[in-house]
A and B are shown apart, each in its own frame.
Chain A
């Protein structure tokens, strides 16, 4: 373990230190940061005129702008040592106004590579696994082996057997280049994002209602009178949305926050203290709870009738235009089964009132929430005041909601929002709160026509890559910036599948000779095995340490100019400010070298701006449209990146428009209050009707049904039996990203969480004889894994009960170890672990059976027995871990 240093001073940047802008690399909020860089040997003073901050020190209390020791580092810039301070931008007027920050961003300077810190093990050179050990090779050799084996696989086994698994978020330039290679040049359907087994939409229920899942602006979370937050606590994982927007709304205008969450963390407890409400529900029961609230609203006539009439589809509009009938887009085919679509509000109302699951008493029992609280939630959200005015209600959701039951949780959530008149105006919006930042641009279309997967109604759906690997169909896998095995559901079992196809294949490399390597790896794939290339910034378990044949070192945040959007579509430049370690290269560059060696054209980029400008046209129809910015830059004789750099930490919100010859951002989508020039959209503005209307066949919203029967069989099977508990998992404030920066390489955080933990309610802990600081094992011998079942003739064929009957499900065992933290945070009967500790991945207990409607995993529905093993060394240490409650307010 690294020693923690207690530093009691920081160096100050001299007046002439260089200043660059960037944003935090981590959570969706993407707070604006400034980088101060100056050569080692120089120093500034505490007076404003003596330092590059332009501020006298000490700074005022309760203000941004203080630089703590964790914000300083020493890096190499142009080969020479430089001080850098990476600090929240105290002057910014957007997002983290005045310099607010999280514990993660506040320590992001520690992310920078340095030989003297725990970052010293960054990947620096391409490596090849020879005789079981990784050995350094050249970029030329690595990309030659990659391309030759790839060409062999594609020529002999088809593009279906060449797979790519990659991050969806790590900057426009990289995602564009990598997807251009896989989807446009190679055209493989064996492609999946890091967090699902395919290219699943995160909140398809919102999509079907007509709502873009990042339509809201951060100001909408502030403006709402009632804010519903489902499946997350922004205090923990979207810190500055909480600090700057929600907490201020609570204290400044008495916003009532309704949390729907099986955990009571700090934000939840604070909201409760201030007139809000915590619906401490049983995991996975959100659909029932949301429909029960909807029923209370409908039975009392509290819905926003006027707005519903004006902005939602009636019976005739439902089927007008391109309608909800049998068509060829995913949202249209979802509505062809008769299970989800309605004929408008009256039909929706009739359906809700007819459901036994929406009955207050029934719902209260299943959800474990008092009937009075369900009624109170309905009242806070929709009951008109005595003067006839209505509360402004916004609804935000995140993974606790849509990763426990994807489709019907999201469709019922959005439909509930419509009843409150939310979705298209200030302070009344429905959106995701967000996970990673939005850095994805697809450089090619997913070839769904090549996928063998079909649902009832003969509708093809994208391939489940995990199941495809399990079926032995993949011969070459290119893995970029994800652990794949540890990061998926039923993770322990998937790692075994990889071992069987890679390390246990007899064809293993015995020399770094390129010709030998190519021949051996060709023999491997010809024998039915798989070759795996892992591209990352650190060597990660198991994908890098154990499985990869080739490891490629990537350059990351701060090491190349990159661009990305945040959770309110704010696009900004993330400046390069120091040298990448060794020969590490940005992902776009690596993809370009591979593509050119494979003989594909259109990859001869010289710098990241070339990729940024090329990718612009692929954003035109999206919320990230920045094409007008690139056009404007060209007109001004600037590079796209340089024009964006001039917008600093403010950036500009997509889709970018042109008005009166100036670039204009779009604050919110579906915005019925947006005023446009009478002359209409100008020149490069790529106008989309959903900028002011809902994204549907008519521009009005669709009420959707959400039948419990589409999920209930699965729920009944996975829910805890006998002495089992729910084992939920997710991120926490201090360990946001997946264990490669914070907890593994920041001594402060390492001390806080040296091992994976499990929060247990005192009631359960007492029964199980567990105290805080005890080691426990968390285990299950019935983790369901869907190993086959690519094709369903009828809708019901791919529902869980029938998959089980059809022999498509097997049950595997999993066991992880954790340090118990006994606190009144998880609901009795539930526990919570950090999701992606590679030594003890909580994911190994989660069911690897995706929601058949959308192919999202139910990551949050792990179940297991918790057994005390003995005391951990942390139990009586003053040095590591603290076992105090995360909900002290």
Chain B
């Protein structure tokens, strides 16, 4: 019992900026995965998280049944801008930071390289679980670790799209990071 309480406390203090209360409740069922997801985003207060993510739309982007392992699906988020809202969703087949689904292996990211805006949507490397190398200057991003730069020139991780499962549907509910090109994320 004591252990459970400790765990709960850890989860609360580690509540990530990218998760709103609703998500917290959802993920709360599985403290382990919540911790994993939360760990990279830092310990911002729940209030700040809600303020940050209240502005992002909740958008259905795929059905679980549409996903095949290692086959990315392209979608638009946060708005429908055909250039800047380009994102991709992929089932990695390997547990990942921020991953959803039974295996915590479904992740989504912006398709625009945070170095100089090269298009990464179709550069996914299934054998490495990596986006890139960017066709422009070869930056690679680790999709299992929140889009962290592996090698290259991008100054930020690849913005990760926050996902939520509802039954057999996958929803995008926020963006962690600034998508290439603007001063704010598209449409927010």
Binding site for B on A (CB under 8 A): 3-12, 46, 57-64, 66-71, 99-103, 106-107, 235-236, 239, 242-243, 247, 265-267, 270, 733-734, 748, 751-752, 877-879, 881-882, 884-889
In the complex, whether B154 has a CB less than 8 A from a CB of chain A is yes
Q: Given the complex, which residues of A lie within 8 Å of B117, measured CB to CB? A: 59-63, 66
Q: Given the complex, which residues of B lie within 8 Å of A57, measured CB to CB? A: 181-183
Among B71-96, those with CB < 8 Å from A are 83-84, 96
The reply to whether A70 and B149 contact each other, CB–CB distance below 8 Å, is no
Task: Give which listed residue, A8, A63, A242, contacts B116 with CB less than 8 A.
Answer: A63
The reply to whether A107 and B155 contact each other, CB–CB distance below 8 Å, is yes
Q: Given the complex, which residues of A lie within 8 Å of B183, measured CB to CB? A: 9-12, 46, 57, 67
Closest to A247 in B: B137
A143 to chain B, nearest CB (A): 40
In the complex, whether B148 has a CB less than 8 A from a CB of chain A is yes
In the complex, whether B17 has a CB less than 8 A from a CB of chain A is yes
Q: Given the complex, which residues of B lie within 8 Å of A7, measured CB to CB? A: 177-178
Q: Given the complex, which residues of B lie within 8 Å of A5, measured CB to CB? A: 17, 42
**With the chains together, A861 CA to B99 CA distance in Å?**
43
**With the chains together, A630 CA to B150 CA distance in Å?**
45
Q: Given the complex, which residues of A lie within 8 Å of B17, measured CB to CB? A: 5-6
Question: Interface with A: B23-31, B124-132, B164-172, which one?
Answer: B124-132
In the complex, whether B112 has a CB less than 8 A from a CB of chain A is yes
**With the chains together, A56 CA to B140 CA distance in Å?**
28
Once A8-B178, A103-B155 are accepted as A-B contacts, the answer to whether A61 and B112 lie under 8 Å apart by CB is: yes
The reply to whether A878 and B145 contact each other, CB–CB distance below 8 Å, is yes
**With the chains together, A243 CA to B133 CA distance in Å?**
13
**With the chains together, A63 CA to B83 CA distance in Å?**
14
Q: Given the complex, which residues of A lie within 8 Å of B175, measured CB to CB? A: 8
Once A878-B96, A888-B125 are accepted as A-B contacts, the answer to whether A6 and B150 lie under 8 Å apart by CB is: no
The 4 closest A-B pairs by CB, nearest first: A878-B97, A58-B181, A106-B155, A58-B182
Q: Given the complex, which residues of B lie within 8 Å of A61, measured CB to CB? A: 83, 112, 117-119, 180-181
The reply to whether B153 and A733 contact each other, CB–CB distance below 8 Å, is yes
The reply to whether B181 and A59 contact each other, CB–CB distance below 8 Å, is yes
Task: Give which listed residue, A64, A69, A265, A751, contacts B178 with CB less than 8 A.
Answer: A69
B20 to chain A, nearest CB (A): 14
Q: Given the complex, which residues of A lie within 8 Å of B159, measured CB to CB? A: 8
Q: Given the complex, which residues of B lie within 8 Å of A58, measured CB to CB? A: 83-84, 180-182, 186
The reply to whether B146 and A103 contact each other, CB–CB distance below 8 Å, is no
27 pairs of residues in contact across A and B, judged by CB atoms under 8 Å: A3-B43, A6-B17, A6-B41, A8-B184, A9-B183, A10-B183, A11-B183, A58-B181, A61-B112, A62-B118, A68-B155, A68-B156, A70-B156, A103-B154, A106-B115, A106-B155, A239-B153, A247-B137, A247-B138, A266-B133, A733-B151, A734-B149, A877-B39, A879-B145, A884-B140, A888-B130, A888-B151
Q: Given the complex, which residues of A lie within 8 Å of B182, measured CB to CB? A: 46, 57-59
- Size class of the B contact interface (CB-based, 8 Å): 35 or more
The reply to whether A66 and B96 contact each other, CB–CB distance below 8 Å, is no
The reply to whether B177 and A62 contact each other, CB–CB distance below 8 Å, is no
**With the chains together, A107 CA to B119 CA distance in Å?**
22
Task: Give which listed residue, B116, B130, B144, contacts A64 with CB less than 8 A.
Answer: B116
Q: Given the complex, which residues of A lie within 8 Å of B140, measured CB to CB? A: 266, 884, 888
Closest to A749 in B: B149
Closest to B123 in A: A888
Q: Given the complex, which residues of B lie within 8 Å of A101, measured CB to CB? A: 115, 153, 155
7 additional contacts (CB under 8 A) given A8-B176, A884-B128, A888-B150: A8-B188, A61-B181, A62-B117, A106-B115, A877-B39, A878-B37, A882-B142
Q: Given the complex, which residues of B lie within 8 Å of A879, measured CB to CB? A: 39-40, 97, 145-146
Q: Given the complex, which residues of B lie within 8 Å of A70, measured CB to CB? A: 155-156
The reply to whether A8 and B43 contact each other, CB–CB distance below 8 Å, is no
Residue of A242, A243, A270 ringed by the most chain B CB atoms within 10 A: A243
B122 to chain A, nearest CB (A): 14
Task: Give which listed residue, A3, A107, A733, A748, contacts B152 with CB less than 8 A.
Answer: A733
B153 to chain A, nearest CB (A): 5
**With the chains together, A537 CA to B64 CA distance in Å?**
54
The reply to whether B156 and A69 contact each other, CB–CB distance below 8 Å, is yes
Closest to A69 in B: B178
Q: Given the complex, which residues of B lie within 8 Å of A9, measured CB to CB? A: 178, 183-185
The reply to whether B150 and A884 contact each other, CB–CB distance below 8 Å, is yes
The reply to whether B42 and A103 contact each other, CB–CB distance below 8 Å, is no
The reply to whether A243 and B156 contact each other, CB–CB distance below 8 Å, is no
The reply to whether B148 and A882 contact each other, CB–CB distance below 8 Å, is yes
Once A10-B178, A12-B183 are accepted as A-B contacts, the answer to whether A752 and B148 lie under 8 Å apart by CB is: yes
Closest to A3 in B: B42
The reply to whether A751 and B148 contact each other, CB–CB distance below 8 Å, is yes
Closest to B180 in A: A66
Closest to A242 in B: B137
**With the chains together, A889 CA to B150 CA distance in Å?**
12
**With the chains together, A62 CA to B146 CA distance in Å?**
23
Closest to A71 in B: B155
The reply to whether B150 and A100 contact each other, CB–CB distance below 8 Å, is no
Residue of A57, A60, A64, A884 ringed by the most chain B CB atoms within 10 A: A884
Closest to B55 in A: A8
The reply to whether A243 and B137 contact each other, CB–CB distance below 8 Å, is yes
Q: Given the complex, which residues of B lie within 8 Å of A242, measured CB to CB? A: 137
B57 to chain A, nearest CB (A): 14
Once A59-B181, A66-B116 are accepted as A-B contacts, the answer to whether A884 and B155 lie under 8 Å apart by CB is: no
Q: Given the complex, which residues of B lie within 8 Å of A881, measured CB to CB? A: 145
In the complex, whether B36 has a CB less than 8 A from a CB of chain A is yes
In the complex, whether B114 has a CB less than 8 A from a CB of chain A is yes
Once A6-B17, A878-B97, A882-B145 are accepted as A-B contacts, the answer to whether A103 and B185 lie under 8 Å apart by CB is: no
**With the chains together, A6 CA to B159 CA distance in Å?**
9
Residue of B17, B145, B177, B188 ringed by the most chain A CB atoms within 10 A: B145
Once A63-B117, A878-B146, A888-B128 are accepted as A-B contacts, the answer to whether A8 and B155 lie under 8 Å apart by CB is: no
Q: Given the complex, which residues of B lie within 8 Å of A71, measured CB to CB? A: 155
**With the chains together, A733 CA to B155 CA distance in Å?**
11
Q: Given the complex, which residues of B lie within 8 Å of A884, measured CB to CB? A: 128-130, 140, 142, 150
A762 to chain B, nearest CB (A): 14
The reply to whether A8 and B177 contact each other, CB–CB distance below 8 Å, is yes
Q: Given the complex, which residues of B lie within 8 Å of A8, measured CB to CB? A: 52, 159, 175-178, 184-185, 188
Q: Given the complex, which residues of A lie within 8 Å of B45, measured CB to CB? A: none
**With the chains together, A69 CA to B178 CA distance in Å?**
7
**With the chains together, A59 CA to B114 CA distance in Å?**
12
**With the chains together, A66 CA to B181 CA distance in Å?**
6
**With the chains together, A103 CA to B114 CA distance in Å?**
10
A878 to chain B, nearest CB (A): 3
Q: Given the complex, which residues of B lie within 8 Å of A63, measured CB to CB? A: 116-117
Closest to A5 in B: B42
Closest to B17 in A: A6
A163 to chain B, nearest CB (A): 40
**With the chains together, A75 CA to B39 CA distance in Å?**
29
Residue of B149, B177, B178, B185 ringed by the most chain A CB atoms within 10 A: B178
Closest to A2 in B: B42
B91 to chain A, nearest CB (A): 17
Q: Given the complex, which residues of B lie within 8 Å of A103, measured CB to CB? A: 149, 152-155
A335 to chain B, nearest CB (A): 43
The reply to whether B133 and A68 contact each other, CB–CB distance below 8 Å, is no
**With the chains together, A253 CA to B159 CA distance in Å?**
34
In the complex, whether B13 has a CB less than 8 A from a CB of chain A is no
Residue of A4, A107, A877, A878 ringed by the most chain B CB atoms within 10 A: A878
**With the chains together, A265 CA to B96 CA distance in Å?**
25
In the complex, whether B15 has a CB less than 8 A from a CB of chain A is no
The reply to whether A106 and B153 contact each other, CB–CB distance below 8 Å, is yes
Closest to A10 in B: B183
**With the chains together, A881 CA to B40 CA distance in Å?**
11
**With the chains together, A887 CA to B52 CA distance in Å?**
36
In the complex, whether B136 has a CB less than 8 A from a CB of chain A is yes
Q: Given the complex, which residues of B lie within 8 Å of A62, measured CB to CB? A: 116-119, 136
Closest to A99 in B: B116
**With the chains together, A58 CA to B176 CA distance in Å?**
18
**With the chains together, A8 CA to B160 CA distance in Å?**
11
